[in-house]
Structure 1
Amino acid sequence: MILVTGGTGLVGAHLLLHLLQNEATSLRAIYRNSQQVEKTKRLFEQANCLTLFDLIEWVKADVLEVPSLEIAFQDIDYVYHCAALISFDPNDEQQLRKVNIEGTANIVNFCIDKKVQKLCYVSSIAALGDLSQNQVVITEETEWNPEVLHSDYAISKYGAEMEVWRAHQEGLAVVIVNPGVILGAGFWKQGSGLFFTQIKKGFPFYTQGSTAYVSVQDVVNIMMQLMNSDCNGERFIVIAENKSYKEVIVEIANKIGAVRPRINATSWLLNVAWRLDWLVSKVFRTKRKISKHGSMSLLNKDQIANAKIINYLNYSFQSVNDCIAEVSKEFKNNTI
């Protein structure tokens, strides 16, 4: 039996759909509340696959609640660990470490105890290493530099990877994927789905920085191929392309019929923005929208390589523009 954590998030929901479309017959997913399960159900409905949704065995559990995981792990052979907290609010530091590091430790401990055959962990490009002076492209081998300023989210994902490697040293077969910004349909109020929602409302700013993007379909397809292979003890960067924030925002705006961004958010403007955001959060007790580190990352132009996964699986990624076109079509069909 296969267990999927985070089955009510973007990657987990698409993974459940992909597994069932590829004839997975025994599938269990954990959830924390029934309202979240409805989001996954809507994804299956939009794909005309409601009959497949009924094949999922849902178990109420939390990665931080050991007794609930005891039930979820009964008779499990393979685990896809997709559950994570994504936040760039400095106030969420403790919760990030708890969910992403302690939660992953719980998952790998159960995998070891229950003699699970293989674990696939969904990490992030945020957990990759830092370029030194003589390096120009980040790869799986680029070393993490603890002296470099990292976001709390990045630190938590790096810490979670350490738990996975610990499990591997104890004999568990593991594979780690490090996706870039994941683009996919069905979750318009979280993650990359917010790009589409905010741009539709009107998002006037862009920066000259860049990052790496990938389709959720490519992410889940690669995860399944790696789990079905002999691959063990490896990590793979899973990205299609490096693109500037401006390119992506303009492309989304064009595809959904929104106004293109027109204001270049320079370092000076971003420094003002994060300070004002800090002040507003203190006065009105609201969540931070942009931190100091977040503003700096929007100007980052580090390039990230995907050669390892392409060569290992002989894989061809969907282009980012084609992915944006597909997701934009779903956005217009289901939100307007």
Structure 2
Amino acid sequence: MRLNTRTDKRIHLDTTYDILIIGAGPIGLAAGLEARKAGLSYLIVEKGCLVNSIYNYPLNMTFFSTADRLEIGGIPFPSIHAKPTRAEAMEYYRRVADKFELNINLFEEVQHLEPIGEQYHISTNKGSYVARHVVVAVGFYGIPNLLHVPGENQPKVRHYYFDPHYYYRQKVVVVGANNSAADAALETWRKGADVTMVIRQPELGSIKYWTKPDLENRIKAGEIKTYFNASLTEVREREVDIQTPEGKLTLENDFVIAMTGYQPDFSFLERIGIKLTEDDKRHPQYHPETMETNLPNVYLAGVICGGMDTHVWFIENSREHAVKIVQHIVQEEKVAQV
């Protein structure tokens, strides 16, 4: 390793990793575990903190899945709850990383990927690396789906919801129909907010079975005002406009919590050369048996595989991607040695 004095970045070109893994979420960690088990050299590079997406979940979030379905590398996930919490998940993945001393660089963002012969030169904001294989295991929680309405750029509009206490005695509009919107509406209402939900559909969407009846009862009782078949059309400093089937409605408002979902960083995939479909789904190209993309020896793992279909892949059904990828790499190494 040497120091580039012009950019003050550390250059690691004297070490060639078998695998460089982009993303230290559960699936990126699973890929590291599989590489370690196979005796391959690897490095995990993460632009945020460990399991960054889970860290950005709401403070009191409970997973829909049971703990055993969130396990990686065959390591038991103990939980005192039927459904584990955000805090338990972060503790579990920290313990996994520590127990196996996983090789992880945090707060380091990959900026460029360049093929050099049969290897890849990976540039980050902190250094440069060489690897024979690359696994892209980034999530989709970093880029929110925008409302595209006037006033959306105001500080009062939040695309991430964390702690309900912040909204005590505030007039809050929650946009969305699914789990995140339901949690935000119920939790802020319980902490003393005046909550109005704005939902494009004629009914509530996909909501956890233990949450949906609670929200339905709050709506029926008039405790959480709800407008179906409606949309938020403008945000101003002290009020918002909502288009309802009966016409435009203007409400006093302090905060808008837009739980409209998130999307992968398609520009990053395109920048490194991974092909995407040109339709609205933006599905990245990869082989489902090996997870290899159109770029030789570059693989996809986790929710990124679904493109805009962000409700297809989860921790529980994509952790096997790590197994497929490492098995394919090991098999190719064996063939190359014959």
Band of TM-score, shorter chain: under 0.3
Q: Select the structure that is richer in helix.
A: 1
TM-score between both structures, scaled by the size of structure 2:
0.26
**Which structure is higher in strand share?**
2
TM-score by length of 1: 0.26
